[in-house]
Structure 1
């Protein structure tokens, strides 16, 4: 039986054409998520189980997810009761099927409670609806999802009054017990599904509540009446009707291609997908609607070019100015930067090199040299691994507080000697490591005044978060730790206290962005793209790192002295990250990143976050803990060595 479920409804909101490609094994899907990995990274399963404890004695409908009739019949029987609570209640009507997180029936009043692993701050009145009265764009998919659920329930029971709620983590609340997260253990069930083993017997074991409930009945009514649309014009009732007809009849909607929707399309093929004979839904759409041929797919298009503001890309796409060869400086809003490359300059460089099939590096040597001459030896390269957990690890901590569980530190001396000087990792469950983390970082960096490097703003953001945590703490050495943080970082915009340290970390991401462009990165400034691009362009790096560690004036904490970082195949350097062991369960870093790709605010570092989640939320024997810890240490060591290699690449260029 084909039915329009709420997950398919949400997919249709993204792009109606996806309804034709979803679930078909012949098409590549970059978002084929592994629920176990998602649970480790996101915590949604745990939040849902926690929410159920606040609505005790509910009836859970489980098993045979495909058996729509069975669950619908069970739900109908339960709803005959005057008062009842149901987890995963099912409703089936006229080709529509939904399951609700928590449903509370009191007489003829239904409370529809959607549980989300997101968070909110009750002080912010504009979490869901903006100041101008429209839905906040990031919340539109979730609110339309709930409106779809209400629509289906109302079709089944028109006599019921339905009130709608969202339940999620309240960032203003603090846990009153230690190890709240440990009460919900993620496990693989016998049928290979993902589940949560709940150790709490009742809500009395949970301490103060850390979840809050927001009533959204009026917002959902506004969606139903068309007051709130999805995007600029999509109305709820029309979307349900069209999506249902399309999906049930397995039709291709032929919805127009667009920059915003197609840029995020998961139905594209990687080289590996092509080798496996998988089809590309993305390609089929552009063949049908835009008449692209094989040569068009090989061209550089708006989807590949970084640095053009999305609003301009939308306009250019609608005018069919899609390929690099059709763009001019006026199209992309070209402006010259002052002392650095502007985003539009980088875009124009990328366009020019694509048109001319030019893979040579562009670099502002004078600007880069002037910047590098400011740096003081010894140079320090640091990388943090962190996570935010919906359920606090320890007493007095809030949901989604930053947790810093690992760092790596390389030192580069003026004579060219390179040391993997320090590392820290916390692999203990139910432990808040941040203050130990900052103490170890202080020991690592306080012995000299050398320049400190980070990559992007993550490390500075984390230090700001720990700064706030220290201010609220009773740590005996809090003053010296706060002083250290202020010496190597700068305050962010929302900090009550303002500072900029004498050794404020230098952001290598900004250095690369301001002075350097490598066509092999396809416009990306991610370190994991910059590194292999630099390695393939640099004869110095190829020669040096093709030798064992002990021969190149380099020390390592996690690799043997005969380890060789660079391996070449057919004159192409293999990305060093591909030679590292899987973090766990034979899942490569790329596979983990794909599985959690739709989770907000996760870019690089998703594999480490997921592995840390496994250390926290699953039961493991010591050898497995050791295996994961070892893999995390190796990944983090390469992260800071990659920064060293990038520095050496810049040094080679200006020399």
Structure 2
């Protein structure tokens, strides 16, 4: 049998589903890859910082040919280099690079670096595979550890990388999994030997399609399912969806009489029977009547640093860097717009953000958001970071009105919302033919994830590129609050409220 070349990433993908390897080899064009550049960049940044954990190190450049990397690693071990990063090894077509390798006189220590804040099962598969490769080569691996982010660490002026990371010894688990690793490698090789380009493997979908990672081939593997189907039901837990799937209850027609949540049945009913919009006017009026002028329609954008860059912040803390604010001072007044976008090198950008917002909302009116949990939590965090701003943040939170409520509660629902109350579904459902309100027409940034990535990328861009990105961020965030204004106007229209 011709054994396939198996890296640790390929091995881990096969632990999730062997068919991923076959699809990557024979049908890669069917993958629908999400843009995970930001995730990869965070992983790279964390890895580079972690390399300094044990002092000076010798690096095996990742961009070199594999054989060259293996040879360089051998030379470094021979010359008794103490700390080697990206040390590379191969045993019978099984290849791995070790993030950090400690080469002590009494044996080797493997340190696998992760940008996560917890240890996941797949990480144990990862390090166990590395242990297998190195020990199979006759190397004495005395310790295996996982290095991951300590999300309780609060940065002071200087970054403390010892406090930034947790290090957990998993040597016992890695050793216990060796028989499993060997069996899995044999299974993977047999699987790929049996299934060539003309013999596609049959593998049913399941929770493994999303655990530990969402599979790029989900659309391919579900292409023959009826549309719409159980997986199109909004908010329903994946476990419940798969339970219905395995029972053969797949299409909306199959599900119409099932004993499931009323909201799921409502989505199905509206889709199958093309119901007219559901508008519970009295409930919607309660929200409208609670509003007090001036009306402040506001939306925040935030980003997360895996390695905290701002003093007083934690890893992965949501850092608000931008807001858009549409204002209606009184009934019948013209729409005003204000906005804020932080400078990427502002070491006090959270405070600058907060002070600008306080200045832009001086009066005690309704602060209208869409999904208040996010903005309210950021305001609370700001008050905790800056006690002198706490009263202002609490005042803003006390005035918040959540425009999402009638859609989440299904007081207002149409077929086009597809069971969702996200503004990205609600807005086009209410204004289907308005290009001004179409996020697709935006030039650069189209969603919150892209906004976060765009802001984080600014420091690496030229002045011209920064100007273009900042313009894109402002246009995107402005549309979010304009969307809320338009939704408010629609609520008034359908309830005949002035």
When normalised by structure 1's length, the TM-score is: 0.68
Mapped contact 1:112–1:163 kept (Cα < 8 A): yes
Q: Distance in 2 between matches of 1:262 and 1:117?
A: 19
Partner of 1:379: 295
**1:482 match:** 390
Residues 16 and 207 (structure 1), Cα distance of their counterparts in 2 relative to 1, 3 Å cut:
closer
Query: Which consecutive unaligned segments of at least 5 residues does structure 2 have?
Result: none
Task: Name the structure 2 match of 1:353.
Answer: 270
Give ranges in structure 1 of 5+ residues lacking alignment: 120-126, 129-138, 181-205, 226-234, 270-279, 284-291, 333-343, 472-477, 490-500, 537-541, 543-565, 568-573, 584-588, 590-603
| Equivalent of 1:258 in 194, 206, 219 | 206
Secondary structure in 1 aligned to 2:31?
A: coil
Number of the residue aligned with 2:157: 177
CA distance in 2, matches of 1:395, 1:309: 38
Task: Give me the whole-angstrom Cα distance separating, in 1, the residues matched to 2:164 and 2:28.
Answer: 44
| Counterpart in the other structure of 1:152 | 133
For the pair 1:306 / 2:234, whether they are aligned, the reply is yes
> C-alpha distance in 2, partners of 1:236/1:360?
56
1:163 CA displacement? 1.3
Counterparts of 1:499-514 in structure 2 under 5 Å? Answer: 501=398, 503=399, 505-514=400-409
Contact 1:385 1:605 in 2 (8 A): yes
Aligned equivalents of 1:423, 1:76: Cα separation in 2: 57
- What is the 5 A alignment of 1:261-280? 261=209, 264-268=214-218, 280=220
Distance 1:77 1:250 in 2: 39
> What are the within-5 Å matches in structure 2 for residues 382-397 of structure 1?
382-397=298-313
Equivalent residues in 2 for 1:194-213, closer than 5 Å: 209-213=163-167
Contact 1:406 1:437 in 2 (8 A): yes
Q: 1:51, CA displacement in angstroms? A: 1.2
* Residue 215, structure 1, aligned to residue 77, structure 2: no
Higher RCO structure (Cα 8 Å, ≥6 apart)? 1
Cα shift at 1:155: 1.9
**Aligned residues of 2:293 and 2:328 also touching (Cα < 8 A):** yes
Residue aligning to 2:85: 87
Match runs of 1:82-161 below 5 Å: 82-119=80-117, 128=119, 139-157=120-138, 159-161=139-141
Aligned residue-pair number: 488
**How many angstroms apart in 1 are the aligned matches of 2:39 and 2:55?**
26
2:147 & 2:210 partners in 1: Cα distance? 31
CA displacement at 1:114 relative to structure 2: 1.1
Shift of 1:2: 4.1
Structure 2: distance between partners of 1:311 and 1:69 = 44
Cα RMSD (Å) of the superposition? 2.9
Partner SS state of residue 165, structure 1: strand
Q: Which residue of 1 aligns with 2:59?
A: 60
Deviations 1:344-379 (CA, angstroms, capped at 9, x unpaired):
2221111112333x1643333332223322222332
CA contact (8 A) 1:470 1:482 kept: yes
Q: Counterpart in 1 of 2:487?
A: 646
Aligned match of 1:631? 472
Aligned to 1:164: 144
1:46 equivalent in structure 2: 45
| 1:173–1:209 Cα contact (<8 Å) kept | yes
How far apart, CA to CA, are the structure 2 residues paired with 1:175 and 1:307? 36
- State the 1:96 CA deviation: 1.7
Task: State whether residues 150 and 162 of structure 1, in contact with CA within 8 Å, keep that contact through their aligned partners in structure 2.
Answer: no
SS at match of 1:103: strand
Q: Deviations over 1:404-453 (max 9, x none)?
A: 11111112455454524321111232523111211121222231323533
| Structure 1 residues 63 and 488, CA gap change in structure 2 (3 angstroms) | closer
CA distance in 1, matches of 2:404, 2:16: 31
Give the match for residue 414 of structure 2. Answer: 518
**Native 8 Å contact 2:205 2:221 kept in 1:** no
Instruction: Report how far residue 637 of structure 1 moved.
Output: 0.5
Q: Which moved more, 1:395-404 or 1:420-429?
A: 395-404
Equivalent residue, structure 2, for 1:534: 430
Q: Tell me the TM-score normalised to structure 2 length.
A: 0.88
Q: Supply the distance in 1 between the matched residues of 2:248 and 2:67 (Cα, whole angstroms).
A: 47
For the residue of structure 2 that corresponds to 1:407, the secondary structure is strand
Q: Secondary structure at the match of 1:31?
A: coil
Tell me how far 1:307 sits from its aligned partner.
3.8
Q: In the alignment, what sits opposite 2:440?
A: 578
Decide whether aligned partners of structure 1 residues 627 and 83 sit closer, same or farther in structure 2, where only a CA change above 3 A counts: closer
- Quote the Cα distance in structure 1 between the aligned partners of 2:232 and 2:439: 23
Cα 1:310–1:262 shift into 2, 3 Å: closer
Q: Against the structure 1 CA distance between its residues 523 and 435, is the aligned structure 2 distance closer, same or farther, given a 3 Å change threshold?
A: same
Q: CA deviation at 1:34?
A: 6.0
* Alpha-carbon separation, structure 1, partners of 2:133 and 2:182: 11
Residue aligned with 1:20, SS: helix
Distance 1:307 1:450, change over 3 A: closer
Residues 138-182 of structure 1, C-alpha deviations (whole Å, 9 max, x = no match): x1222222222222222222x51331222233233343435x6xx
Task: Return the match for 1:7 from 6, 9, 20.
Answer: 9
1:321 to 249, 261, 268: 249
Matches within 5 A, 1:326-475: 326-332=254-260, 344-356=261-273, 358=274, 360-412=276-328, 415-429=331-345, 431-471=347-387
Q: 1:305 to 1:111 in 2, by over 3 A?
A: same
CA drift of 1:639 comes to 0.9
